[in-house]
């Protein structure tokens, strides 16, 4: 007899869990409180980002997830661009860290290149040459447009795996394998809550005990007036070097961090590191900042956006860019260093949460792993 499962949340975490459950033989229904996914899953760079994952299981999960993205994108038809990523250095300390990362990543078997100033300018003409030392190029990163890919992914899962989506359905209560909505009671053999807001409201006493906070980020989207404008890769300024776990292997990272603390304290206080991705429509997504706490001001800070753009102009030509949109997003972030949370809050009811900024990169493979543990 086929078992049935209910997944709460139609963001990337919910889609990944629904897919993993279906592949295990469950008939899956996905409940989403909004009429479509509107949270952090569509408010990001669209970066599939193995370069940011530490060596070992996290990097392996990122590469596995990337393969799933590529496979589904080919079937569905949304853009999947193997752009790689470029990490530029504009001072001695950044260049020292980048050279150390190159040596470490090569020893791990990653696909990376150490590029001189001349090679960077020749290959990526939109990079500014003034004060440039060189860059680290990684070939593993990819870009999708989450605003298109997330809803298309839901349609694909419905058509290919018969996963049923029930949008505009808020969950009022969960108890004894029953899910209560405003108009009906639904029974399931297994329930997985993938929306952080629903975890917080359905199990507040358990939520309050978890090592979890929320991160608010600010981002912007631009379009160049030059129809042929192409940055050729995903771009990362030096500040990104102190942001990702995988970069902590560089012995000189502490010296670089201290330099930023002395010279750019306002950037560190807002958690700013500056990156640019370009989707298949030519649109350029720029960000971002990181402010932590359980409750956030709903308003964007103009100061943060100005700091991001000021730093961006140090390494990327933006003269032809026009601002299309600015926004903020909020996602759950674990404070204990774990990459995700998967816990049973009552019998046959699980919470999958806390992927932080790595949701697009890790969700598919991580979901397969956690479902295998049930």
From the candidate CATH numbers 3.40.50.150, 3.20.20.450, 3.50.50.60, 2.60.120.10, the one assigned to the domain spanning 4-45+147-210+339-372: 3.50.50.60
pTM of the complete model: 0.96
For tokens 């590191």, what's the residue?
Answer: 273
C-beta separation of 58 from 362 below 8 A: yes
- Beta-strand relationship, 341-346 and 349-353: antiparallel
Q: What are phi and psi of 222, to 5 degrees?
A: -125, 165
Which CATH number applies to 85-139+212-334? 3.30.9.10
What are the domain boundaries of the chain?
4-45+147-210+339-372, 85-139+212-334
Which pLDDT tens digits describe the chain residue by residue (374 residues)?
789 999 999 999 999 999 999 999 999 999 999 999 999 999 999 999 999 999 999 999 999 999 999 999 999 989 999 999 999 999 999 999 999 999 999 999 999 999 999 999 999 999 999 999 999 999 999 999 999 999 999 999 999 999 999 999 999 999 989 999 988 999 999 999 999 889 999 999 999 999 999 999 999 999 999 999 999 999 999 999 999 999 999 999 999 999 999 999 999 999 999 999 999 999 999 999 999 999 999 999 999 999 999 999 999 999 899 999 999 999 999 999 999 999 999 999 999 999 999 999 999 999 999 999 99
Per CATH, 4-45+147-210+339-372 and 85-139+212-334 having the same topology is answered no
- Beta-strand relationship, 284-287 and 190-193: unpaired
Which residues make beta-bridge pairs with 166? 31
Does 288 sit behind a cis peptide bond, omega within 30 degrees of 0 on the bond before it? yes
In whole angstroms, what is the distance from residue 300 CA to residue 217 CA?
9
- What angle separates helix 92-108 from helix 253-263, to the nearest 10 degrees? 150
């Amino acid at each position: 007899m086929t078992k049935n499962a209910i997944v709460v949340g139609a963001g990337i975490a919910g889609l990944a869990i629904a897919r993993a459950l279906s592949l295990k033989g469950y008939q899956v229904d996905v409940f989403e409180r909004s009429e479509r996914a509107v949270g952090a899953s569509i408010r990001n760079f669209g970066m599939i980002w193995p370069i940011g994952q530490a060596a070992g299981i996290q990097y392996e999960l990122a590469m596995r997830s990337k393969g799933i993205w590529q496979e589904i994108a080919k079937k569905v038809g949304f853009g999947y661009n193997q752009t790689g990523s470029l990490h530029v250095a504009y001072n001695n300390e950044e260049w020292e860290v980048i050279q150390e990362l190159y040596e470490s990543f090569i020893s791990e078997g990653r696909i990376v290149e150490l590029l001189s100033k001349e090679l960077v300018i020749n290959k990526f003409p939109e990079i500014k040459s003034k004060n440039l030392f060189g860059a680290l190029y990684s070939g593993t990163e990819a870009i999708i447009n989450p605003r298109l890919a997330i809803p298309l992914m839901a349609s694909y899962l419905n058509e290919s795996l018969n996963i049923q989506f029930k949008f505009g359905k808020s969950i009022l209560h969960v108890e004894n394998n029953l899910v209560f909505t405003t108009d009906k009671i639904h029974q399931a053999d297994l329930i997985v809550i993938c929306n952080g807001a629903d975890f917080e409201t359905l199990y507040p006493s358990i939520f309050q005990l978890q090592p979890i906070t929320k991160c608010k980020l600010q981002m912007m989207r631009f379009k160049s007036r030059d129809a042929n404008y192409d940055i050729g890769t995903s771009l990362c300024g030096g500040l990104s070097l102190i942001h990702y776990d995988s970069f902590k292997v560089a012995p000189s990272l502490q010296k670089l961090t201290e330099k930023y603390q002395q010279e750019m304290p306002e950037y560190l206080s807002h958690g700013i590191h500056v990156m640019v991705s370009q989707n298949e429509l030519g649109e350029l997504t720029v960000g971002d900042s990181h402010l932590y706490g359980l409750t956030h001001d709903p308003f964007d800070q103009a100061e943060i956006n100005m700091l991001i753009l000021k730093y961006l102009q140090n390494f990327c030509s933006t003269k032809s860019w026009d601002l299309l949109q600015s926004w903020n997003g909020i996602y759950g972030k674990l404070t204990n260093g774990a990459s995700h949370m998967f816990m049973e809050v009552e019998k046959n009811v699980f919470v999958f949460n806390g992927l932080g900024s790595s949701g697009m990169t890790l969700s598919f493979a991580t979901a397969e792993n956690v479902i295998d543990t049930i």
